[in-house]
């Protein structure tokens, strides 16, 4: 005889409705209660009928997760953490890559609308108005984008950028370049505002170079302008751009960090293994992935709520930054 939800309720000592909530809306049940229900379900070998649940709850049990560039090492840890969090909440995740194209992002949301209960947009390239319009069609959570009325997870990259510039100023750099990312990227705007603010406080002018593609090739393309600018230090939009910039600078005969200090943003796993190891702003991507899933499940629940989660960042100092050469510092 097949094990039913009533059997799970009996063994776990809770009401049938509590079992249902524990299996379909974990955030509405106390963690200890859900653990007891899951233990009972595992003991009995109970497996929920997802098709039947979808018919009764009008939910698919699926979530969408849309990222700008899955090849960028920033995204995989976030995807992995989000998927694990969703699985723990008995949800499946559909992952899609937009290749940095806003049009593809919009098409993916439309195509997923009938297959998922909601979607997470990570570093979206769409305009605010386009995202707001899509949120009327499907519950959305945005990561690294501030948008009124749409739940969001923000990594405080502004604080990280301030720390990066303060670090460079503390080393003695006064000629600093900022290699920005895509023009519509929220992260790029936050970095520019924060870095510019700190520089103004110290009477230093930061030269902005961009917008640029947020890729290794984008960093390589910006390298010659950085070198020609006379900057002794550079803050790049992300680690990939920092890698590309540092490699191209070396090809041009510019030593990192002897002639040019380089700072990235992300603290991807490659940062510690690059040569030299990259000074960078650590972004809590795994925590962001988990938080985004939790926010989305709150949004799709009856009487769904919206909110914003802000996560701290931190500068990680490695070998790609050093004081400027004495003749530069003297100028």
For 150-206, what is each residue's pLDDT tens digit? 999 999 999 999 999 999 999 999 999 999 999 878 999 999 999 999 999 999 989
Count of CB atoms within 10 A of residue 43's CB? Answer: 13
Determine the pLDDT at residue 331: 43
> Please, are residues 304 and 288 in contact by the beta-carbon 8 Å criterion?
no
The class that CATH gives domain 157-281+320-330 is alpha beta
Instruction: State the pairing for strand pair 279-282/261-266.
Output: parallel
> Please, are residues 105 and 124 in contact by the beta-carbon 8 Å criterion?
yes
pLDDT, mean of residues 259-281: 95
Determine the 3-state secondary structure of 100 from DSSP: coil
Determine the pLDDT at residue 329: 45
Task: Quote the mean pLDDT of the chain.
Answer: 90
228-268 pLDDT, tens digit per residue, is 999 999 999 999 999 999 999 999 999 999 999 999 999 99
Determine the pLDDT at residue 131: 95
Return residue ranges of the chain for CATH 1.10.260.40.
5-56
Domain 5-56 has CATH 1.10.260.40: yes
> Please, are residues 217 and 100 in contact by the beta-carbon 8 Å criterion?
no
Strands (E), the chain: 62-67, 92-97, 119-122, 140-143, 152-155, 176-179, 206-209, 233-236, 261-266, 279-282, 308-311, 314-316
Determine the pLDDT at residue 179: 97
- Binning pLDDT at 50, 70 and 90, where does residue 25 land? low
Determine the pLDDT at residue 328: 47
Determine the topology of domain 60-155+284-315 in CATH. Rossmann fold (3.40.50)
42-82 pLDDT, tens digit per residue, is 888 886 655 455 544 566 789 999 999 999 999 999 999 99
Determine the pLDDT at residue 58: 61
Lowest mean pLDDT among 112-116, 158-162, 290-294: 112-116
Whether residue 302 has pLDDT greater than 80: no
> Please, are residues 274 and 308 in contact by the beta-carbon 8 Å criterion?
no
Q: Nearest CA to 168 among 69, 279, 252, 59?
A: 279
Chain centroid to CA 285: how far?
5
Determine the 3-state secondary structure of 122 from DSSP: strand
Sheet with 233-236: list strands edge to edge. 206-209, 176-179, 233-236, 261-266, 279-282, 314-316
> Please, are residues 259 and 329 in contact by the beta-carbon 8 Å criterion?
no
Determine the pLDDT at residue 35: 87
pLDDT, mean of residues 80-99: 93
Return residue ranges of the chain for CATH 3.40.50.2300.
60-155+284-315, 157-281+320-330
Determine the pLDDT at residue 169: 97
Q: In this structure, which long-range contacts are made by residues 218-222, counting pairs with CB atoms below 8 Å and at least 24 apart in sequence? A: 218/181, 218/244, 219/179, 219/243, 219/244, 219/245, 219/246, 219/248, 220/244, 220/245, 220/247, 220/248, 222/179
> Please, are residues 300 and 117 in contact by the beta-carbon 8 Å criterion?
yes
């Amino acid at each position: 005889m097949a094990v039913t939800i009533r059997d799970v309720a009996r063994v776990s000592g809770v009401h049938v409705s509590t079992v249902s909530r524990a299996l379909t809306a974990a955030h509405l049940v106390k963690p200890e209660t859900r653990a007891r229900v899951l233990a009972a379900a595992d003991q009995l070998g109970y497996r929920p009928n997802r098709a039947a649940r979808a018919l009764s709850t009008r939910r698919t049990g699926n979530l969408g997760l849309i990222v700008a560039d899955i090849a960028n090492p920033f995204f995989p840890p976030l995807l992995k953490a989000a998927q694990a969090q969703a699985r723990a909440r008995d949800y499946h995740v559909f992952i899609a890559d937009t290749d940095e194209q806003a049009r593809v992002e919009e098409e993916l949301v439309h195509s997923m609308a009938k297959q998922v209960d909601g979607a997470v947009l990570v570093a979206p390239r769409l305009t605010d108005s386009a995202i707001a319009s899509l949120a009327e069609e499907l519950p959305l959570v945005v990561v690294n984008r501030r948008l009124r009325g749409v739940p969001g997870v923000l990594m405080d990259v502004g604080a990280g950028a301030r720390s990066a510039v303060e670090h460079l100023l503390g080393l003695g750099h006064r000629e600093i370049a900022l290699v920005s990312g895509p023009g519509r990227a929220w992260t790029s705007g936050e970095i520019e505002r924060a870095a510019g603010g700190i520089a103004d406080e110290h009477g230093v002018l930061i030269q902005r170079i961009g917008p640029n593609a947020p890729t290794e090739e984008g960093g390589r393309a910006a390298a010659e302008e950085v070198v020609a600018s006379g900057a002794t230090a550079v803050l790049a939009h992300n680690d990939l751009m920092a890698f590309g910039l540092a490699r191209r600078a070396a090809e041009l005969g510019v030593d990192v960090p002897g002639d040019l200090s380089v700072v990235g943003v992300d603290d991807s796993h490659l940062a510690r293994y690059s040569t030299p190891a990259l000074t960078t702003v650590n972004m809590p991507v795994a925590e962001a992935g988990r938080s985004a899933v939790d926010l989305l499940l709150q949004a799709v629940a009856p009487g769904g709520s919206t909110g914003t989660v802000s996560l701290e960042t931190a500068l990680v100092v490695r070998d790609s930054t050093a004081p400027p050469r004495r003749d530069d510092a003297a100028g």
